[in-house]
Amino acid sequence: MTITRRDFLNGMALGIAAGLTPLQHIAAATRAALGTYIPGDDYYPHGLTGLRGSHDGSFEVAHLLGGEGARFKLPETVEEEYDLVVVGAGISGLAAALYYR
């Protein structure tokens, strides 16, 4: 298999153009294509991305646990026994439950 000079130069030009494209333009194109909000790297706080502060009371609970020594209640003892427990309903959990059944 041989590569022609034209194919080599076209490939090199494409690689150089991709390498010189600023990442901000690529990220903007991704946001436009997905049609969803994707915050930039400089966005803070992360309230819209599901991280800290994304629900009411999250800061208060964190300060109670960290600063005032509050603790959650211990879990209750469960007497039931199960052959399989699937945690989550993502594609992996659904596939595991279907395979087990």
Which pLDDT score is estimated for 74? 86
Taken in order 9, 15, 16, 21, the sign of the CA dihedral is positive
Average pLDDT over residues 25-46: 68
Task: For residue 59, give Cα distances in angstroms to 43, 48, 56, 73.
Answer: 19, 15, 8, 19
Average pLDDT over residues 24-34: 75
What's the CA gap between 28 and 33, in Å, rounded? 9
Which pLDDT score is estimated for 89? 79
Q: What angle do CA 63, 67, 72 make, to 5 degrees?
A: 70
pLDDT of 1 higher than 80: no
pTM value is 0.26
Cβ partners under 8 Å of residue 45, min gap 6: 51, 52, 53
